[in-house]
Amino acid sequence: MRYLGVDYGSKRIGLALSDEAGTMGFPHSIIPNTPRLIDELCALIAKENVNAVVIGESRTLAGGENPIARDARAQGELLALRAGVPVFFESEVFTSAEARRVPQLRDARVDASAAALILTSYLSRIGTSAH
């Protein structure tokens, strides 16, 4: 089962793909957040035979929803309808900060690496029960 991980941001979207077994996420790319976002994600889902999408759930440190979380959830719901695949949400607390700690990463790759961390976190949490 192949998964697409999404680190949703107001300007950039980090993307990660899982391995074919659905056990780990790997940075894939970064795309701009434009009105064509859903079309681009649907094309990637079809091209890469993605079976499910995991979107990072942005929260305040107090656990409340923020404007990015509302946008990400709305985009996730639209993506599920348009692409016909289930969309799950996974906490993304500190994933961008964690991705920045890797010395080899340049700023442009942080979003894709954060998406890989979000995806790997989700896949680790669900374990093999969902495969």
- Give the dihedral sign, CA 21/28/99/10: negative
Domain ranges (residues) in the chain? 3-20+32-126
Distance CA 125, CA 120 (A): 8
Alpha carbon 92 to chain centroid, angstroms: 9
What's the token pair of residue 104? 């080899």
Helix extents (H) in the chain: 37-47, 67-83, 95-100, 107-126
What's the token pair of residue 13? 């979207």
Distance CA 54, CA 30 (A): 15
Distance CA 111, CA 131 (A): 26
CATH architecture designation of domain 3-20+32-126: 2-Layer Sandwich (3.30)
Tell me the pLDDT of the chain (131 aa) as tens digits: 999 999 999 999 999 999 999 999 999 999 999 999 999 999 999 999 999 999 999 876 777 778 888 999 999 999 999 999 999 999 876 555 554 555 554 555 778 988 999 999 999 988 855 44
- pTM (two decimals): 0.85
